[in-house]
Amino acid sequence: MRDFLPEDRPLLILAPMQDITDLAFWRVLARYGGPDVYYTEYFRVHGDSRPEKYILRSIEENPGDKPIIAQMIGQDIPALQRTAQALQRHKIAGIDLNLGCPAPIVCRKEAGGGLLRNPEKIDTILREVRAAVHLQFTVKTRIGFDSPEEFPNLLDLFRRHPIDALTVHGRTVREMYKPVVHYDAIERAARLMACPVFANGDVRCVDSARRVVTETNARGLMIGRGAIRNPWLFTQIREAYETGEVRTQPRLPDLRLYIEELYQETRDPHLRDIAHVGKMKKYLGYIAPGIGPEDAFWKELRPVLNLRDLFAVCDRHLAAPEFFTGGNGNPLPSDLFHGREKVRVLPSAETLPSAKILPSAGP
């Protein structure tokens, strides 16, 4: 992964989030600058598994033409070796092993974060899968299952293997997505590992990106929820490091356009309205909270069951006249962007590629 590292800023990576950071989301994100590296949703690996075709399609169609790391999850060693060999026949830069997924159904199968309870098994997996991977081989982990005190021993284990990068999510499996992130654990990994270490956990804006890099000395940032909420984030971080100022300043109507682009990319003529609303809410659950007084935007969206009502709510909160000041839309909440110096005019709906905008759904 060292070949991918920029000289004067952290490597920017899109975190894998199952059923969310899919090909449709990649297509939208690529229009906003996108990350330096994409990690796929995880390929589920077991005795009878074959790489999921819909995830392979993300690799084949690669809208950003950026390096892709294919992530696997599982604990069956022959199946992991077989899958790694199969994936390497596709246009990828490397293979990643997921040791961080906290979903109970995954952990019960001793996969993802569940493997952190069995360091001996991890040791064997890393040795055998590394032997089957001729490309980059990376690991994404949490800092323990029950306690951060497990991490020093896990780190010793990782150091015994020639992995090419280690992404550390600074929470335990038990902590799920609680507010506290143990950045000291990421700093320890960055200090002791021979390979680059990437920080993961609560990078939501340029300020938090800079703070995490300063606190951890990580060589890269893996961002998931922050990039879903703010698709301009990767561009803003690049601007901050490369020019010293953040010129990209989105407004609420820009967010409205982004939501419509997500709709256009995810829509399926075979899906019922309510199913598509459910898909959109997976994204909106990260986008909407914090917008409007007392989370008014998200509170109105949650009970919505059809697309017309969904976009009517968007119109009221993101495109209505009261959200404009002096002819300009109010800026997004402060954790969505950083910098007010020089504003780069964002493209209009008409100039964005592939953006077929829905008519206003308001009354």
State the burial class of residue 3 (Cβ atoms within 10 Å of its Cβ: 0-12, 13-18, 19+): exposed
φ/ψ region of 33 (left if φ > 0, alpha if ψ in -120 to 50, else beta) reads left
The residue from 101, 195, 205, 314 that is catalytic is 101
Q: What is the DSSP letter of 41?
A: P
Q: Cite the beta strand spans of 204-337 per DSSP E.
A: 220-223, 324-325, 328-329
Q: What is the DSSP letter of 237?
A: H
Q: Tell me the CA distances in angstroms from 1 to 100, 126, 194, one per residue in order.
A: 20, 17, 12
Q: What is d(CA 49, CA 203) in angstroms, rounded to the nearest whole number?
A: 34
Q: What is the DSSP string of 299-334?
A: HHHTT--SHHHHHHHHIIIIISGGGEETTEEPBPPG
Determine whether 101 is an active site residue.
yes
Which residues carry out catalysis?
101
